[in-house]
Structures are given as C-alpha cells and as structure tokens.
Amino acid sequence: MNDPCLWLDALPRPAQDGNKYTRGHALICGGFPMTGAARLAARAAARAGAGLTTVVVPAAAFSIYASALTSIMVAPLEMPNDFFGYLLDTHLSGFLIGPGAGVGEYTRERVLAILATRRATVLDADAITSFEGDPKTLFNAITGPCVITPHEGEFRRLFNLTGDKLTRARAASLRSGAVIVLKGRDTVIAAPDGRATVNINAPPTLATAGAGDVLSGIVLGLLAQGMEPFLAAAAGVWIHGAAATQFGMGLIAEDLPDVLPGVLRDLY
C-alpha cells in the first residue's frame, strides 16, 4: 500500500542556503485552444516545490496563459522550431507534455525531442494517445527517467495486456522502461525494476475534469527537484489524494494546487 513511510525521507525539502535555481526548473508544454490543462499542471508543479516553472505556448495563446498565471513564466513560441531551442537549456530539470497538447504528429515530435534530453519527463493525456498504434517508437525513445500517467483508456492505447491491474501495470513498466501510474480509485504505481505500490487514499471527489492534470503537475514538481521517478510518482499520487480529502465536497481541479501547502506542511 502506498504510504508516506515509503517515500517521506526522499521528499524534497528547501535547503537553508538554497534559491529558486537550486529547487529545479520545470517546463510544461502548453496547448491551444485547450489551455486549462497545462495551466492547472503548472500551478501544481510550482506548489509541489519547483523553484521555477515555465509554460511554453503558441504565440496565439500567450495572452490567455499570461493573464491567468503570475508566478509562472509564460514563453511564447513565435516559430514552430522555437520549442526545440528551449530544450538546449541545461538548467531545465523536468518536463511535462500532454495536457491539452493535441493528438498528432506535432505532439509526437515534441515528445521524442524531450525524451532525447534524457532528463526527467512526465507523459500524460495527448502525449500518450499520440503514440496509439506505434507504441514501440515511444518505448525505444525512453532512455532517461520517465513517468507515464494513463487512465485505463489511455493505457489500452499503448499496451495490449491482460490480467489484474497490478500485473498489467508492472508488465507495462517493464515493457516501456518508464514508471507507470495507472490511475483510478486504486491507482497502481509500478517501476521497471519490479517495485510497485497501490494507492487507496483517493476520494471519489477526484472524479472531476482536470484532476489528472494537477496530478501530472505534482509529479513534475517533485521530479524537477531531483526526486527519483518511482518515489516521485508514489508521493505525487498520495499527496493528490490527501489534498482532495482535505478539501472535501464541492472539489474542482482548480482547488487542488492551493490545498497542497497544507498537505505538505503536515508531511514535513
């Protein structure tokens, strides 16, 4: 069972002599016209402790993102290839692509470019679906720390596996080389080395649009600070559930990032 005793010692803590640069720099690929998902993920990454969080967005969407995000940096992509220039920044310590990104070749190219950096990466939503029918290309590209966060429908688009949820998640992790977060009421987190844990603290109020985007942002924030992928995924899932429980009824995804400080305070 997923419990803080598994990962609490590894949970990043701000150092007395630290600064925003030592706490990691998270980069999120923002989509258009679906802009809400990446904004939710960005706020969650920052609340989870990333010292800097940047969202790169199509120039046409800049005003939408910039007006909604204040402590989050928003970088407009004037030309399509501008995105690949951002990947050259060695200070970036974690990437997220998928929420609101759109399904297709555009997203596929960016996923493969991110994975080629071999830095910590979270793949969610459209980044998963964009490889439906060609999962081998994705799996071959995973050579660094990577967390994939599918729900059951997205999972089936990449993996033709049978068996119980734990068995399928472990097999998928071994096949892909990534940590798999197979979401649901009993989310399973599985690593390629065989480690696995089942999370059971998620309340039914998490069944709301955007909650998964917040989860991917939390995991990104922990990865950007240097947390090991399996432990970051396990911690992120538990913290996500605890935040929803703490908020209670009436929860919408926008509420979750602002509840994270209370959950983290209790953990620390």
State pLDDT tens for residues 73-100.
999 999 878 999 999 999 999 999 999 9
Domain membership of residue 1 (yes or no) is no
For the chain, how many residues are written?
Answer: 268
Q: pLDDT per position in the chain (268 positions), as tens?
A: 999 999 999 999 999 999 999 999 999 999 999 999 999 999 999 999 999 999 999 999 999 999 999 999 999 999 878 999 999 999 999 999 999 999 999 999 999 999 999 999 999 999 999 999 999 999 999 999 999 999 999 999 999 999 999 999 999 999 999 999 999 999 999 999 999 999 999 999 999 999 999 999 999 999 999 999 999 999 999 999 999 999 999 999 999 999 999 999 999 9
Domain membership of residue 5 (yes or no) is no
Q: Is 132:157 a contact under the CB 8 Å cutoff?
A: yes
Which residue type, as a one-letter code, is found at position 259? V
User: pTM for this structure?
Assistant: 0.97
What whole-number distance in Å separates Cα of residue 258 and Cα of residue 159? 35
In the numeric block, the tokens 């068995």 are attached to 167
Domain membership of residue 3 (yes or no) is no
Into how many domains does the chain fold? 1
**The pair of three-digit structure tokens given for residue 237, joined into one six-digit string:** 């899932």
Q: Are strands 73-77 and 25-29 parallel, antiparallel or unpaired?
A: unpaired
Q: Are strands 179-182 and 188-190 parallel, antiparallel or unpaired?
A: antiparallel
Domain membership of residue 76 (yes or no) is yes
Q: What CATH number is given to the structural domain containing 150?
A: 3.40.1190.20
Domain membership of residue 11 (yes or no) is no
Domain membership of residue 168 (yes or no) is yes
Domain membership of residue 268 (yes or no) is no
* Domain around 142: 16-263
Domain membership of residue 49 (yes or no) is yes
